[in-house]
Amino acid sequence: MKLNYLQNIYQTRSNQAEVRKSGLEEYLYAHNDELKKRRSQLLDLRNSLLQAMHKTAGLDDKDLSADQEYQRIKEAYALKEAELQAFLQAEMLNYCQKHNYRIYYCAYCQDTGVLANKQACKYCLPAQLAAYLQELGLYRLPLSFKAQQPDQTDISIYARANSPADFQAEIANYRTNYKYAAKFAQAILAETANSSISPSPLALSSSSSKHNLKHNIILYGVAGSGKSYYAAKIASYLMQEAILALYLDSEKLGDLYVKRDLLAASFNPDSRQKDYNNTCFAVMQQADLIVIDDLSINTVSPKHLLSFLNNVPQRQHLIVTTNYSPNELQEAYGERIFSRLFQDTEPVSFKTNDLRLFH
């Protein structure tokens, strides 16, 4: 995952942390008597080491390694230096705890965005990603959304929008949908090299491996049937695992393509708009998952949808929500787009009435 904006954020944080750390070290050296004593002892050993080197001036490294006095002082200096650094770190930690002073914004990755195992920091990177994507308009979750694991949903809410007979007839559909969401999210997590894969709370059976799942999902059903909420769960879960997931409505996608066409046709395009537009398309290329919410012919033209589908990276997953059935999508966009849209794609139907009317 290479986003220059985030790299700059973490570089700035790291620089600020180094300034705070250096300032605290100088403060402790000036006010801590034990630190003063230990540093003085280290300086005395350093002077002794320099004197030993002067006595052997003109000798190469091989000859110095045979000088027992020089080696003795060198080992003592190294030991004393290690002891001083350990004591300094302990005093800095004690000061930070006592005075509630923070050197790093994130103590886990120490403001680098990467953990010791070279994997993305799940403790601070997701928040940075979400803030950045929200500024770009590429991560707009439903207003009523609450972060949950993809398979955790109160199925009883569907009973409010259906008759008891309909609810009982379709309850398996609701449960299957949310189980599939869990499997789909976990499959992306497992195959993404950028992720920090830890034992997941999502229990998957052997039949739910990524090889038995489609690469993309199309969610269709009436307005208010829970499609957007379902998609948002998957995107949010992956973002919490520091995987780049976008969530944008189809109108935003259509606008990006319209503006790109206008900028390309302009003799003097606005540089800020051009930079913004180019940034959005660059981020879209880097994402591991893109959710396109509420796709319709009125928001994304066939020309632009075809351009989008033709430029989707092979590794990238798509989730599309729409009020159109597969047959209606084929009629609206034609065979050419329909073929690309449903290639390696699982259609997931939501068989319910409008849930918003029953809250």
Kindly state the helix (H) or strand (E) to which residue 219 belongs, with its residue range.
strand 216-221
| pTM for the predicted model, two decimal places | 0.74
Taking a C-beta distance cutoff of 8 angstroms, is the pair 48, 73 a contact? yes
Q: Which of 105-109, 164-168, 266-270 has the lowest mean pLDDT?
A: 164-168
- Arithmetic mean of pLDDT, 93-110: 89
For 87, phi then psi, to 5°, come to -65, -40
Q: Which residue has the higher pLDDT, 146 or 175?
A: 175
* Alpha-carbon distance values, 88 to 36, 39, 97 (Å): 11, 10, 14
pLDDT band at 226 (very low <50, low <70, confident <90, very high): confident
248, 284 Cβ separation under 8 angstroms: no
CA 278-124-314 angle, 5° bins: 45
**Residue 185 neighbours by CB under 8 Å, 6+ apart:** 150, 202, 233, 234, 237, 238
Output the CA angle 256-259-263, nearest 5 degrees.
135
Spatial contact of 187 and 346, defined as CB atoms under 8 Å apart: no
3-state helix, strand, coil in the chain (%, to 5): 60, 10, 30
Q: Under a CB-based contact definition with an 8 Å cutoff, are residues 149 and 239 in contact? A: no
Q: How far from chain centre, in Å, is Cα 50?
A: 50
Q: How far out from the chain centre does Cα 345 lie?
A: 24
User: Is residue 200 predicted with pLDDT exceeding 80?
Assistant: no
CB 189 within 8 A of CB 103: no
List the structure tokens of 133: 């994507």
For residue range 278-322, list pLDDT tens digits in order.
999 999 998 999 999 999 999 999 999 999 999 999 889 999 999
Pair 291, 247: CB distance under 8 Å = yes
